[in-house]
Amino acid sequence: MMRPSLPGREYWLAQGFRGVEHPRNYEALARKLATPGSTVKVVAFGGSITQGMSDSFKRTWAHEAVGWLQEAFPSVKVTLTNLARDATDVGPAAMCWYQLMPPDTDLVLVDYSLGGCGKLQCAGIATALVGHYESFLRRAMRRAPGAAFLLLENFYFAEVTVRKWNNATASVTRYTEANPYYQTGGDMHEIFARRYRLPMVSTREGFYDLMYNDTAIMQELGVKRADIMVDDKHPNPRGHAILGRGIVAWGLRRLLREELRAWADGGRQPTPLQLPKPVSPLAAQEADADSYCAEGLALQRHVVDASVVGQGWRWKDSSNVAEACAAARAAKQPVNCDKWGAYNQGYGKSLELVVNTQRIQGAAGVLEQRRLVLFFDRATARNFRVGSSALAPAAWVQCVAGCSCEAFELGGEEGFYPSETAYGSTLVSQHPQCRVRLTIRDKGPAGNDYFKVNGVAVVPLNDTVNLTYLDRMAIDKEAMFLAAYKSWSASAAAEVHQAGLRGAAAELPAVQNVH
């Protein structure tokens, strides 16, 4: 195999690699890559870093990594299906988008350590997004049982401004600190990497000591941070090339080289592919069965036409790459970048949907419990704010015929989970014609009266899971944290020197800015 031609020493390239012994399905991947005439199918999942900023069909790190594979193995054909979507966390992928992946996929690239994980949302094993991440991996492994996986930990290279009262100058002094090293989803995701024998590469490990030090990054890579980054999260084309053909390609080369050497020596003993028990207590509560999902264009077959016409709902795509998505769909290319849905404006406007909450494909035995999930577009309402409102759009959801569920508010607050393709859920009974009504809700002067619904899903739950007291403690701990977070200001509390607390109070209302 060819070596990646990149700036940076072997030592630096190796920093981001998190290998495992006998990685899942890498022997099969190596053999296929070494068989002339083969077609190797690669699928990528993730957010805007993987989809591409502003135009979903630009080359991102995933394209660069696949390009390296093609150059390293010129006698095979390597294809890429990019199922990433900008500004989303892993939840929709766990419940819906994994089903877009071909069952004969050979390699899955996963990037979900950044989206939604910017404020400690992914720092505990029982947090919602960590549970969704494990559920996504389990469903994806069942969907494509022969696929190898490579997990990518991206990092938010932000700076945090800390204000402290300075007694000597009787004024506020500002300090700038790097985003804490621990502020990532990667540490929890690495637990799953070990549990399921999935290798991982990390931008945090490779770049953390470089991104905040232009002298260091110049010495290592011959560039400055501004030369490779659009902002604190997104690489530019040069940055994508360094990521995809750098630490990602280095990790793939190491993994495949080891498998090819073992093959030349007579091959490895077969390794078990049966999935172990889940790690996260939230993932453990979901059944090892496929969810049902109708999201985007597929939602149209579930809405009640009379409610659409009678209430004035319309269909639109609010994606910032809508034209590119439409062109790709017309060319029969697999895409997942559009945000098609039904939208309306006006308090009290309602939309009804009918969904089968009874039938679940692949369920082992009788699973009584289901979770009903509705997806909505959090960002679309930005153009319909009332005054200076920061509230997300809000709707009241209730089951009105056939099935029963506890009514709940969908949206309605500035989210702890900031995904633009947002979602809410409730437990629901089984029925082949479950009728659900969504009504735009008046949140008062600070609210807005616009709503756009993007999809519906039914997730089967595991009736037989036995949660230990430690599982329940982990779940309760995260619920307590979320409740405390919601009681705080949207910004973190100011770090005020205790001695100057009274003097600083007037000048520091409750602010620590995060850029």
Q: How many helices (H) and strands (E) does the chain have?
A: 17, 18
What is the per-residue pLDDT for 122?
A: 93
Run of H or E including 137: helix 128-143
Q: What is the pLDDT of residue 273?
A: 82
Place of tokens 């039938």: 359
CA distances from 338 to 297, 323, 345, 488 (A): 9, 9, 21, 34
Structure tokens at 130: 């960590």
The Cα–Cα gap between 42 and 455 comes to 26
Rounded CA separation 150/43 (Å): 11
Residue 16 in contact with residue 202, Cβ under 8 Å? yes
Is there a contact between 280 and 131 (Cβ–Cβ < 8 Å)?
yes
- By three-state DSSP, how is residue 513 classified? coil
What angle, rounded to 10 degrees, do the helices at 249-264 and 26-33 form? Answer: 90
Whether the Cβ atoms of residue 196 and residue 278 lie closer than 8 Å to each other: no
Per-residue DSSP letter, 303: B
User: What is the mean pLDDT of each successive set of 10 residues along the chain, which is 515 residues long?
Assistant: 66 93 95 97 95 68 96 96 91 96 98 88 94 98 97 95 88 93 95 98 96 95 94 92 94 95 81 90 94 93 95 85 75 78 93 93 65 88 46 90 96 73 94 97 78 95 92 95 70 39 38 32
Angle (CA) 394-399-402 rounded to 5° is: 160
Measured CA to CA, the distance from residue 332 to residue 311 in angstroms comes to 33
**Who's near 113: CB < 8 A, 6+ residues apart?**
122, 151, 152, 153, 154, 155, 184, 185, 186, 189
Tally of CB atoms within 10 A around 189: 26
Is-contact 31 106, C-beta < 8 A?
no
Position 109 scores a pLDDT of: 98
What is the DSSP pairing of strand 107-111 with strand 148-153? parallel
How would you list the strands of the sheet with 17-18, edge to edge?
A: 17-18, 200-202, 148-153, 107-111, 39-46, 77-82
CA 93 to chain centre: 7
Structure-token pair, residue 71: 């150059």
pTM confidence score: 0.92
Who contacts 108 (Cβ-Cβ below 8 Å, separation ≥6)?
A: 42, 43, 44, 45, 101, 140, 144, 147, 148, 149, 150
User: With contact defined as beta carbons under 8 Å apart, do 119 and 471 qualify?
Assistant: no
Q: Dig out the tokens for 469 from the structure.
A: 């007291």
* Residue-level pLDDT at 512: 34
Q: What is the DSSP letter of 380?
A: G
Beta pairing, strands 17-18 & 408-411: unpaired
What pLDDT, on the 0 to 100 scale, is given for residue 324?
A: 73
The 3-state secondary structure of 308-368 reads: HHHHCCEEEECCCCHHHHHHHHHCCCCCCCCCEEEEEECCCCEEEEEECCCCCCCCCCCCC
pLDDT of residue 119: 83
Determine the pLDDT at residue 505: 40
The two three-digit tokens of residue 73, written as one number: 């193995």
Which is nearest to 201 in space by CA: 270, 129, 162, 250?
250
Sign, CA dihedral 395-476-160-493, equals positive
